[in-house]
Amino acid sequence: MTRITQQMLGRSTLSNLQQSLSRTEKLQEQLSTGRALNRPSDSPTGLITAMQTRSSLASTRTQMRAADNAQGWLDSADSALQSAASMVGRVRDLVVQGANASVGPTGRENIAREIESIRDGLIDVANSSFGGRPIFGGTSDSPRAYDATGAFLGDGGAVTRTVADGVMLPVNVTGPEAFGPAGSSLFDLLTTIAADMRTDPTNVATNNLTDLDAGRDRLLASLGEIGARSNRLTSITERATSLELNLTQRLSEAESVDLPETIMELQMQEVAYQAALSATSRVIQPSLLDFLR
Amino acid sequence: MASTFGGLSLASSALAAQRRAIDTIGQNVANINTDGYSRQRVDMASLNGGSTGIHTGTIQFGSGVDVAAQTRIVDTFIIERAGRERAAKGSADTQASAFRRIEAAFNEPGGNGLAAQLEGFWSAWDAVVDRPEDLGGRAALLQKASAVTDSFRQMHRQISVIAQESIQQASAHVDDINVVAKRVAELNGSIAASIDAGVTPNELLDERDRLVGRLSERLNVTTRTDDRGMMNISVGGNSLVNGVRSSSISLDTSTPGSAVLRLSATNTIVQPTAGSIPALLHVANTVVPDHLARLDQLALSLTSTVNTQHALGQDLAALPAGVGAFFSATGAADLSLDAGIKGRPDLVGAATLGAGRYDGSNAAAMAQLSGLAGGPDEIYRSMVAQLGIDAGSAYGRAELQDRIVAQVDNERMAVSGVSLDEEMTNLVAFQQAYQAAARFMTAVDEMLERLISGTGQVGR
């Protein structure tokens, strides 16, 4: 039979109490930090999940921010192209009106002036900017896409935003794409129309109207392209929002404590600790000394 | 009866023996909480009084009791096992504490570790994509990049320090060992002298066991006790204590990264396999350099990944020659922004070479590198996971070894520890024996009194 000595009792009691306290300490750390994963060794596999989720979450948030920015570009382009299209519509009305023989030279002069002012307005629209960047200027550093004469100052570079993993969405159309190539751009056309209106009214009704319609079709095509991208972006954003929610949940599952469970464990631990204490007070006290006279 | 006064000497031997036993109980009780004390017991033997005498014929009478020995109750096998397990505990504890510090240096998972810094760095590239023309965004990117390099350097420093401190600690332990070895050799001399004189030096033996226990925690030793009671101690096949002579050990740190123990006298390399000293050397020679090497590898991977992508870029001035490096590093300790780009946000290659000045496509491609398979982020994640596994198993070993040592200690105490109940029971027994012996002496005294003063008084 193993002899049991007072010192053995003392030591084992102490080490049991110590173990109980150290479990309590662990639970308290989890509760007070709110995290079940406090260092890599707490759960190496959970750690990988947590870190991966964290990194996906960060990139999803970055992409959502990029999507906001992309939406801004697309919206600006959309409204610019809409007003450009309505301006061109107005010009078409004026051209049809001016082609009418009943309009005298004075009337055509007025129409020519209005067309010239619409041309200036169209250049302003083509110089619309978003966040300080001319939206039809491509990737150039020019502060404006077109100068006052209607010459293109930008470049053909695509402005893209990474709105989802591997999805680089172009958010701009360049000036030439929307307003026509240099030399036969809408601005040049309007200058020609205004000039023809004054000098060669017959040409206005035939050739210029065809060119104008082609220019308007080009505008509408760009508008459609922007609209399609905008739709695509909306669905991507919706997906990203639900992904973010999902990832947040997964991260919390991987890292955070299950409050009710941890609190219950802590209480069980407290009970165990108290039981150990009361057992200790009973076991350690008496020895034969208490009973010898 | 051997002699007329034989009863008196018998009684006195009984009184002396019981007193000795009671004193031993006192000694046991006094040392109940003394670390390493082994309980003692008085071995008594009855004395043969001889058989010749006029009135006795051939019948033998005993002539009292003798204290044959005062023995220390120990189990040398348990003591040896305790030494081995202590050495293993020394190793396990040391490694566990090193890993605790390495884990603290990594500071993962959470918002303050390198992973978060890297995320901030990649997402700063994305902010540059939105506004390549904005110098503020580019400056913020450089700042995030500096935060990443700072994290690397800080981690490198914190981990390197662990190696330096391990060496200092090992050196202190070596000094301690030399002192202890010397003390053991001195004790060997005193113990041999006592044994030669026929006395068992229980307290000295206890102290020597305690010292050997202390040695064992530092490095695993093998002991052999010779017939004169001297204990010879050797470490990894090299004699540390031989009789009354002890050798000293020194820590040779002349080759960084491979510190070794040497016998001072012969310069022989000593290689203990367990204990805190070899564990500290292992931490300094292997564990820390391994982690630093992984950190270096990560820093180089980050540098080459970022620089390769950056080389495809063009800065705000759109120079046809392209841009310089982004990071420069030969390891984690000197990872920094390249000198050319430091403080020059306009030199960040956000645009693709040949594109418009306000192009951001190279920055977009850079931001995508955060998810690169086999890229820096992935290397870092697996590095931290590996650390978690290593640290977890080191803690597990330490906890297990703790329990084993507690178990062996318990076994030692079961044999050698003082039990109050037992001592009290014995105390009652010896006290009563003492009282009875005193009564016997009184009886003999009364008998002699009667004989001496009553003889010849008949009829008065």
Q: Given CB atoms, is B391 within the 8 Å cutoff of chain A?
A: yes
CB within 8 Å: B358 and A140: yes
Contact B22, B434 (CB under 8 A): yes
In chain B, which residues have their Cβ closer than 8 Å to the Cβ of A11?
Answer: 406, 409-410, 413
Confidence category of residue B57, pLDDT binned at 50, 70, 90: low
In chain A, which residues have their Cβ closer than 8 Å to the Cβ of B106?
Answer: 40
Q: What is the DSSP letter of A289?
A: G
Q: Given CB atoms, is B351 within the 8 Å cutoff of chain A?
A: yes
Distance CA A274, CA A280 (A): 10
Pairing of strands B336-337, B260-263: unpaired
Distance CA B274, CA B391 (A): 19
Q: Does residue B457 carry a pLDDT above 60? A: yes
B124 token code pair: 């700063």
In chain B, which residues have their Cβ closer than 8 Å to the Cβ of A288?
Answer: 420-421, 424-425
- Residue B305 vs residues A228, B145, B309, B375: alpha-carbon distances, Å: 35, 14, 6, 7
> Which pLDDT does position B53 carry in this prediction?
54
Confidence category of residue B42, pLDDT binned at 50, 70, 90: very high
Give the 3-state secondary structure of residue B269.
strand
Confidence category of residue B460, pLDDT binned at 50, 70, 90: low
In chain A, which residues have their Cβ closer than 8 Å to the Cβ of B406?
Answer: 11-12, 15
Q: Given CB atoms, is A101 within the 8 Å cutoff of chain B?
A: no
Distance CA B313, CA B323 (A): 6
DSSP H stretches of helix in chain A: 6-33, 44-99, 105-126, 175-179, 186-199, 201-203, 209-255, 259-284
Give the 3-state secondary structure of residue B263.
strand
Q: Given CB atoms, is A92 within the 8 Å cutoff of chain B?
A: no
> Which pLDDT does position B68 carry in this prediction?
86
- Tokens 């005498």 belong to residue: B53
In chain B, which residues have their Cβ closer than 8 Å to the Cβ of A133?
Answer: 131, 133, 358
Helix (H) or strand (E) holding B183: helix B135-196
- Residue B71 vs residues B38, B41, B308: alpha-carbon distances, Å: 10, 5, 79
Q: Given CB atoms, is B36 within the 8 Å cutoff of chain A?
A: no
Distance CA B143, CA B120 (A): 10
In whole numbers, what is the pLDDT of chain A averaged over residues? 88
Given B32, B356, B419, which is nearest A155 (Cβ)?
B356
Confidence category of residue B58, pLDDT binned at 50, 70, 90: low
Per-window interface: A 127-186 vs B, CB < 8 A: 131-133, 138-141, 154-155, 157-162, 165-166, 168
> Which pLDDT does position B110 carry in this prediction?
77
Q: Given CB atoms, is B268 within the 8 Å cutoff of chain A?
A: no
Q: Does residue B158 carry a pLDDT above 50? A: yes
Best of A5, A163, A171, A285 to substitute, by most chain B Cβ atoms within 10 angstroms, is A5
Q: Which residues contact B119 (CB under 8 A, 6 or more apart)?
A: A54, A55, A58, A59, B370
Best of B38, B118, B119, B135 to substitute, by most chain A Cβ atoms within 10 angstroms, is B119
Q: Which residues pair with A170 in a beta bridge?
A: A160
Q: Does residue B31 carry a pLDDT above 80? A: yes
Given B99, B389, B414, which is nearest A44 (Cβ)?
B389
Closest CA to B174 of B96, B83, B275: B275
Amino acid (1-letter code) at residue B448: L
Q: Does residue B301 carry a pLDDT above 50? A: yes
Q: Which residues contact A169 (CB under 8 A, 6 or more apart)?
A: A70, A160, A161, A162, A163, A229, A232, A233, A236
CB within 8 Å: B385 and A140: no
When mean pLDDT is compared across A191-205, B10-24, B152-166, B262-276, the lowest value belongs to A191-205
In chain A, which residues have their Cβ closer than 8 Å to the Cβ of B395?
Answer: 41
Distance CA A122, CA A100 (A): 25
Nearest chain B residue to A131 by CA distance is B131
Nearest chain B residue to A64 by CA distance is B126
Distance CA A37, CA A21 (A): 20
pLDDT digits (tens, 9 = 90+) for A234-278: 999 999 999 999 999 998 888 888 889 899 999 999 998 888 888
Phi, psi of A146 (to 5 degrees): -130, 145
Q: Given CB atoms, is A224 within the 8 Å cutoff of chain B?
A: no
Looking from the CA of A218 toward its CB, the CA atoms found within 13 Å total: 19
- Residue A183 vs residues A68, A145, A153: alpha-carbon distances, Å: 35, 15, 13
- For chain B, percent of residues with pLDDT exceeding 90: 67
Distance CA B24, CA B66 (A): 15
Angle between helices A6-33 and B376-416 (to 10 degrees): 160
Average pLDDT over residues B123-146: 91
CA distance A206 to chain B (A): 40
Per-window interface: A 246-285 vs B, CB < 8 A: 255
Closest CA to B234 of B271, B277, B207: B271
Q: Which residues contact B446 (CB under 8 A, 6 or more apart)?
A: none
Best of B100, B108, B131 to substitute, by most chain A Cβ atoms within 10 angstroms, is B108
Best of A55, A69, A129 to substitute, by most chain B Cβ atoms within 10 angstroms, is A55
pLDDT digits (tens, 9 = 90+) for B220-248: 999 999 988 899 999 988 999 999 999 99
pLDDT digits (tens, 9 = 90+) for B200-209: 899 999 999 9
Q: How far is CA B423 from the centre of its chain?
A: 34
CA distance B131 to chain A (A): 8
Contact B41, B68 (CB under 8 A): no
Give the 3-state secondary structure of residue B117.
helix
Q: Which residues pair with B242 in a beta bridge?
A: B245
Distance CA B202, CA B69 (A): 11
In whole numbers, what is the pLDDT of chain B averaged over residues? 90
Burial of B215-243, coded b for 16+ CB within 10 Å and e otherwise, reads: bbbbbbbebeeeeebbbbbbbbebebbbe
Given A11, A157, A165, which is nearest B356 (Cβ)?
A157
Phi, psi of B385 (to 5 degrees): -65, -40
CB within 8 Å: A287 and B414: no
> Which pLDDT does position B56 carry in this prediction?
53
CB within 8 Å: A7 and B413: yes
Distance CA B329, CA B325 (A): 11
Q: Calculate ∠ Cα A98-A104-A106, nearest 5°.
A: 95
- Cα end-to-end distance, chain A, whole Å: 29
Q: Given CB atoms, is B389 within the 8 Å cutoff of chain A?
A: yes
Closest CA to B249 of B221, B224, B225: B221
Q: Which residues contact B394 (CB under 8 A, 6 or more apart)?
A: B92, B95, B96, B98, B99
Q: How far is CA A2 from the centre of its chain?
A: 72
CA distance B115 to chain A (A): 8
Contact B370, B122 (CB under 8 A): yes
Distance CA B375, CA B356 (A): 29
Angle between helices B76-106 and B135-196 (to 10 degrees): 170
Nearest chain B residue to A22 by CA distance is B399
Q: Which residues pair with A34 in a beta bridge?
A: none
Q: Given CB atoms, is B451 within the 8 Å cutoff of chain A?
A: no
> Which pLDDT does position B55 carry in this prediction?
56
pLDDT digits (tens, 9 = 90+) for B374-392: 899 999 999 999 999 999 9
In chain A, which residues have their Cβ closer than 8 Å to the Cβ of B364?
Answer: 160-162, 168
Closest CA to B17 of B72, B70, B71: B70
Distance CA B93, CA B278 (A): 12
Nearest chain A residue to B34 by CA distance is A7
In chain A, which residues have their Cβ closer than 8 Å to the Cβ of B389?
Answer: 41, 44
CB atoms within 10 A of CB A22: 11
Q: Given CB atoms, is B417 within the 8 Å cutoff of chain A?
A: yes
Q: Where are the beta strands (DSSP E) in B30-105?
A: 40-48, 62-72
Distance CA A157, CA B361 (A): 10
Q: Given CB atoms, is A41 within the 8 Å cutoff of chain B?
A: yes
Low-confidence ranges of chain A (pLDDT < 70): 1, 284-286, 293
Given A40, A158, A288, which is nearest B425 (Cβ)?
A288
Average pLDDT over residues B240-260: 91
Average pLDDT over residues B42-58: 70
Q: How far is CA B356 from the centre of its chain?
A: 65
Q: Given CB atoms, is B68 within the 8 Å cutoff of chain A?
A: no
Phi, psi of B235 (to 5 degrees): -120, 120
> Which pLDDT does position B1 carry in this prediction?
46
CA distance B114 to chain A (A): 11
